[in-house]
Structure 1
């Protein structure tokens, strides 16, 4: 699919830099460049992009304020671009898909773009209507923790038991449930899922990943204090140092 993108930044060099990187990807099309949040507030509902690269500190409204005043149904996947790391918490409270610090290197840029591709692909396969609720029987009878999800794929409704989930990938205000070779998209944030899943069975190991602890095969500590978590079917997930204490308790 062709990804329609709007770049929102008040710095011309920053906009041209993002556009130049995107020009290297045949599946990406920049449909507009906005020099302010006020301009973007008008363009977003008209152009309906799939993805936005959004600066935070701009003259006038900030990028965060733009999201606050834009109806949720017209806010697409958002990748923040900023020179300031102090806004990271606010960005992820707004369910940002990623948060890139300027100057951005090619590897991090491409990683963020790949996450956007996965989200958009999952949304397309789910018919752009990922289910947002647990099953009706769960709503009526479930215990304290979520035990299953209702997901829609290719026009069919499936029940996914939480025990069958290998790991969960945060994709902005969506999440990808990885079950074997399948991935199911739900419109739930990782923050919501972290609070709603049994903490004795699910552990957050990164701002964009929750794992089923029964699937962890081994953990490798890296020199920078991050870790690589290897699941029992060989998949590897990077865990940031912030979550190492919880991982260490798991091993004790």
Structure 2
């Protein structure tokens, strides 16, 4: 099932959109709704929806400020649903997957969501495929698809991963770097949680290479090779629990 979250300041609009999704897309499961951005933030963080429908004008903060406050918790697929067509350019600057104007045309909704579901399913298939390539032969290795072909990397050799949009760079303990055309969230699911931790929207770190932690708003991790990595405020408590 694909998890979707609906955010609109009018209950009527939520009901209409919910009805359309139920009718045309039984594979979409509604994991939450909200009529206020402040109420939506903790729900989105907790539920981690695959798809977020959001109105632009909301009480308190608008959709763009909402996305800013969500930081690394922004869902991978965003559809703006609004009565104002002039915000389309700004929406796509925020990597919107679709832009629907009210009242929502059913045919346009079906076209938009169908393309999104195809992308989501492709990503899920890729995760399953790459998970199958994580194998044990004395040590666990991760198969990384590069421009030149597949590189098999021992998990213990990974110092940390750094995100750059749709790309992830693996930094290895031998000094080598490997650039992969995959978002870092893919590898957050693949790497074992007992050894690797997402400390920031840009970084996953191998816990065995942590040398020290410097206090701060989020703080800073220092690895054995001297590399300093920032810890986001949202991730700090999880990291401190690991230390305890």
Identify the TM-score tier after normalising by the shorter chain.
0.5 to 0.7
Q: Secondary structure at the match of 2:100?
A: strand
Separation of aligned partners in 1, 2:31 and 2:85: 28
Separation of aligned partners in 2, 1:174 and 1:22: 28
Residues 125, 154 of structure 1: 8 Å contact kept: no
Q: Secondary structure at the match of 2:88?
A: helix
Residues 39, 125 of structure 1: alpha-carbon distance in 2 compared, 3 angstrom cutoff = same
1:127 pairs with 2:134:
no
Residues 51, 78 of structure 2: 8 Å contact kept: yes
Query: Counterpart in 1 of 2:118?
Result: 118
Query: Counterpart in 2 of 1:138?
Result: none
Residue 76 of structure 1: CA displacement? 3.4
Residues 128, 102 of structure 1: alpha-carbon distance in 2 compared, 3 angstrom cutoff = farther
Residues 67, 75 of structure 1: 8 Å contact kept: no
Query: Counterpart in 2 of 1:37?
Result: 37
Structure 2, unaligned stretches of length 5 or more? Answer: 134-142, 149-164, 168-180, 185-244
Residues 84, 153 of structure 1: alpha-carbon distance in 2 compared, 3 angstrom cutoff = farther
Separation of aligned partners in 2, 1:118 and 1:7: 20
Residue 50 of structure 1: CA displacement? 1.1
Separation of aligned partners in 1, 2:111 and 2:14: 19
Residues 7, 92 of structure 1: alpha-carbon distance in 2 compared, 3 angstrom cutoff = same
Residues 174, 82 of structure 1: alpha-carbon distance in 2 compared, 3 angstrom cutoff = farther
Residues 5, 53 of structure 2: 8 Å contact kept: yes
Separation of aligned partners in 1, 2:84 and 2:53: 15
Q: Secondary structure at the match of 1:33?
A: strand
Q: Secondary structure at the match of 2:127?
A: coil
Query: Counterpart in 1 of 2:84?
Result: 84
Please identify the structure whose Cα radius of gyration is greater: 2
Q: Secondary structure at the match of 1:118?
A: helix
Residue 75 of structure 1: CA displacement? 2.8
Structure 1, unaligned stretches of length 5 or more? Answer: 130-151, 162-172, 176-184, 189-252
Residues 120, 4 of structure 1: alpha-carbon distance in 2 compared, 3 angstrom cutoff = same
- When normalised by structure 2's length, the TM-score is 0.54
- RMSD (Å), alpha carbons: 2.7
Query: Counterpart in 1 of 2:6?
Result: 7
Residues 56, 63 of structure 1: 8 Å contact kept: yes
Residues 4, 29 of structure 1: 8 Å contact kept: yes
Residue 71 of structure 1: CA displacement? 1.8
Residue 73 of structure 1: CA displacement? 3.8
1:56 pairs with 2:66:
no
Cα deviation code 1:128-186 (max 9, x no counterpart): 89xxxxxxxxxxxxxxxxxxxxxx6863544458xxxxxxxxxxx769xxxxxxxxx74
Separation of aligned partners in 2, 1:17 and 1:94: 25
Query: Counterpart in 2 of 1:100?
Result: 100
Write out aligned runs for 1:71-220 (5 A).
Answer: 71-127=71-127, 155=133, 156-160=143-147, 186-187=182-183
Residues 159, 89 of structure 1: alpha-carbon distance in 2 compared, 3 angstrom cutoff = same
